Amino acid sequence: MRRLLTVLAAGVPLAAAVYLPTASAEPENGSASASFACAAPSVKAPAGTKVESVTAVRQAGGTIIGTGALGGSVSGVPAYCEVTVTLTHPGDDDHAEVRTWLPVSGWNGRFQAIGGAAYLAGDNGVGLGTAVKNGYAAVSTDAGVGDALDTDWALNSNGQVNTALLKNFASRSQHEAAVVGKEVVDGVYGKGPAYSYFNGCSTGGRQGYMEAQRYPDDYDGILANAPAVNWDEFEVATLWPQVVMNNEKTYPSKCEFDAFTNAAVKACDSLDGVKDGLVNDLSRCDFDPRTLIGTKVACDGKELTVTAADAAVVRKIWDGPRTASGKKLWSGVPVGADLSALAGLTEPDADGNVAGAPFPVPAAWVKLWVAKDPSLDISKITYSRFTQLFKQSQAEYDKVIGTDDPDLSGFRRSGGKLLTWHGLADQYIPTQGTVQYRERVEREMGGAKRVDDFYRLFLAPGTVHCGLNKGDGTTDDLGALTTWVEHGKAPTTLPATLTNASQQSVTRDLCSYPQVSRYKGHGDPAVASSFRCVSPSWH
């Protein structure tokens, strides 16, 4: 994730980095090394599609350089067979590529699908390469759309939403990739996978939940982190910081935003029993930004004074979008997350004035899919207009891409397991949306204990969007999922490394929701064994 934040700082913001799987454990009975001719297998078209082409190319492996805006790389990838199947939906004039990478030797008998990021429906090569390096046969689809920030496909030549490509992006292409990918594995290796997994974060996390909700038999295990569920709601809600700044005509600098965030973390840090820069239980953090009014902030050689207007903007951003009458619409940016990610600013003009610089993912959603007006001026959206756009997005797109159906009974019946972690300092997708979804599933399906049998959520203190395994921390989440699926051992905690306020690496056991981590009162705060998981005070 540090790479992604570097990209953001350079002015090329993206919604998520490519998600890198970490588990490489062999199945208990370890599949024999596959040896085969890399030739195009016969592929039966999934329902509603037509196969346009099937190609197979043997690749040498080595270092894979990620394509598109996300970039990245993975080295040490073994030789693999790349099978590309191009699908179309007759009458829709679309062309979706499904790429399956199969290790030439050392296949572990497992199948792994890799999800996308922002408006990228699938992987850019790094996730596929990492999966192959870890012994998996891996699949990903581009759904017939473009790169992470490419939204040229949103509207057709008549200015109407391209419903076929939106349907591809939202749901059907991921299912078709599962069907085609497993068929390719069977055709090339002569047998299907012993276990099938989905792996994604952000957009990829949403796709994982969509699979569990709509196609519960596709995967034995789904790893869906920082999931972009509630897409029709949160995608509009994440434009709220810009709307607040524009309507209040107040644009705090990044230095000032950071001062508020740091003060909140400092105030709420010790709620878990120890001061270490990691806030475990945000629900108990009630820091009031108005306490900073009049504080001096050093910024680029200048001294700024925090104003009441600055504090009012931060309060509204943390609180989240509301209607003009005060009714809550959605959660705000989590306390402790980088406020400037969604409350971005332009560089000062000749007179030193700045304006809002919207994060491109929600800006594109609101302009193209909701307003259907590429020329919409985000800076002119009033609070009442925002409410209208929010409700319009809900009405038009909840059933298409909301991905928030709490009925997971089909997935439970199929024997599937769903594992999710979400960073408590996620600057792009409010953590509370994932928590609310989990609670709705509990109400729908008989309570927390029954849901824990197949679906577990872990919240990661101090962790940014898709931050674990990207330089901000690590956890063997995929290993935990495979152990759960293949050996029936559900993870009670998710062992992780995190980075504290002093930028030191510490170990923590992420607690299964709704439990939170609490310091035992003795022992090294940098070591997981000094903490235990307890029920939060509010639960």
Q: Are 252 and 314 in contact (CB under 8 A)?
A: yes
Amino acid at 530: S
Looking up tokens 């989590």 gives 334
Phi, psi of 96 (to 5 degrees): -105, 125
Measure Cα distances from 101 to 127, 144, 169, 300 in Å.
11, 19, 21, 48
For the chain, what is the total number of helices (H) and then of strands (E)?
Answer: 15, 18
Nearest C-alpha neighbor of 418 from the set 254, 253, 197: 197
Set 404, 405, 465, 477: catalytic member = 465
3-state SS string over 13-57?
CCCCCCCCCCCCCCCCCCCCCCCCCCCCCCCCCCCCCEEEEEEEE
Question: What is the distance, to the nearest Å, from the Cα of residue 523 to the centroid of all Cα atoms in its chain?
Answer: 34
Tell me whether residue 453 is one of the annotated catalytic residues. Answer: no
Phi, psi of 500 (to 5 degrees): -85, -175
Angle at 160 (CA atoms; ends 155, 161), nearest 5 degrees: 60
8-state DSSP, 86: E
Element housing 507 (H / E): strand 505-511
Catalytic residue among 140, 171, 173, 202: 202
Could you give the C-alpha distances from 417 to 73, 142, 203, 306, in angstroms and in order?
Answer: 29, 25, 19, 48
Of 457, 468, 393, 390, whose CA–CA distance to 426 is shortest? 468
Strand (E) or helix (H) holding 99: strand 96-103
Instruction: Please give the structure tokens belonging to residue 161.
Output: 């939403």
Q: What is the dihedral of CA 233, 236, 240, 242, to 10 degrees?
A: 170
Instruction: Identify the active-site residue in 218, 269, 405, 426.
Output: 426
Q: Is 34 exposed, middle or buried (0-12, 13-18, 19+ CB in 10 A)?
A: buried
Closest among 469, 432, 172 to 328, alpha carbons compared:
432
Cα gap 436→448, rounded to integer Å:
13
- End-to-end alpha-carbon separation of the chain, Å? 32
Both tokens of residue 211?
Answer: 């699979």
CA neighbor of 66 nearest in space, from 22, 122, 9, 149? 122
426 is catalytic: yes
Q: What is the DSSP string of 199-217?
A: EEETHHHHHHHHHHHH-TT
Residues with catalytic function: 202, 426, 465
